[in-house]
Amino acid sequence: MIPPFWPQLFIKTMPDKPMTCLLLLSICKMTELAYITLENEMDLTLAYKKSIQVAELIKLTVATQTVFATAVSEVSREIMDKAFEGACTIGFTQVKDRYALSAKLRFRIDEDFPKHNEGFDYARKLVPLMEASFSEQEGFVLLQMAIPTSSKMDEQKMVLIKRQISLQGPISAYEELKLRNAALSSTNQEQELELIHAKYLSEQKSEFLSIASHELNTPITILRALSQISLRLVDPNEIKLYGHLQKVEKQAGKLVTLTQQLLDVSKIEHGQFTYNKEWVPFKDFMLSVIESFKLLAPAHKISYELGADCEMQIDKNRIEQALANIVGNAIKYSEKGTTISIRTAVQDDVVRITVADEGIGMSNETLAKIFEKFYRSDMAHSQYKGLGIGLFVASKIISDHFGSINVKSEEGMGSSFAIDFPKLILR
- The tens digit of pLDDT for each residue in 294-316 reads 887 888 999 999 998 888 899 99
Average pLDDT over residues 372-392: 79
| pLDDT band at 122; cut points 50, 70, 90 | very high
pLDDT at 358: 93
Three-class DSSP category at 92: strand
Specify the 3-state DSSP secondary structure of 96.
coil
- Structurally, what CATH architecture does the domain formed by 185-269 represent? Orthogonal Bundle (1.10)
Coil, strand or helix: which one is 386? coil
3-class DSSP assignment, residue 212: helix
User: pLDDT grade, residue 426 (50/70/90)?
Assistant: low
Question: What is the second-level CATH architecture of the domain 278-425?
Answer: 2-Layer Sandwich (3.30)
SS3 420: strand
Which CATH superfamily includes the segment(s) 8-171?
A: Histidine kinase-like ATPase, C-terminal domain (3.30.565.10)
DSSP alpha helix (H) spans, 135-238: 155-168, 173-233
84-93, 112-121, 184-193: lowest mean pLDDT where?
184-193
- 232 half-sphere exposure, CB direction, 13 A CA radius: 5
Query: 407 or 15: whose pLDDT is higher?
Result: 407
Which pTM value belongs to this model? 0.51
Burial class (CB in 10 A: 0-12, 13-18, 19+), 69: buried
Do β-strands 301-305 and 339-347 pair in parallel, antiparallel, or remain unpaired? Answer: parallel
What is residue 28's predicted lDDT score, i.e. its pLDDT?
A: 57
Say if residue 230 is exposed, middle or buried (CB neighbours under 10 Å; 0-12, 13-18, 19+): middle
Q: How confident is the model at residue 22 (pLDDT cuts 50, 70, 90)?
A: very low
Query: Cβ(80)–Cβ(203) under 8 Å?
Result: no
Neighbouring C-alpha atoms within 13 Å toward the C-beta of 5: 15
Average the pLDDT over 168-197 and give the result. Answer: 83
Distance of CA 227 to the CA centre of its chain: 44
Which band of pLDDT confidence, cut at 50, 70 and 90, is reported for residue 210? Answer: low
How far apart are the C-alpha atoms of 268 and 289, rounded to whole Å? 24
DSSP 92-122: EEEETTEEEEEEEEEEE--TT--SS-HHHHH
Q: Average of pLDDT values for 275-279?
A: 91
Q: Do domains 8-171 and 278-425 have the same CATH topology?
A: yes
Handedness of CA 316, 370, 292, 304 (dihedral sign): negative
pLDDT category at 138 given cuts 50, 70, 90 is: very high
**Averaged pLDDT for residues 67-83:** 93
Residue spans of the domains in the chain: they are: 8-171, 185-269, 278-425
Does the pLDDT of residue 153 top 70, yes or no? yes
CA 204/CA 169 separation, integer angstroms: 45
* pLDDT for residue 19: 40
Question: Max CA-CA distance within the chain?
Answer: 109
Report the C-alpha gap between 166 and 163 in whole angstroms: 5
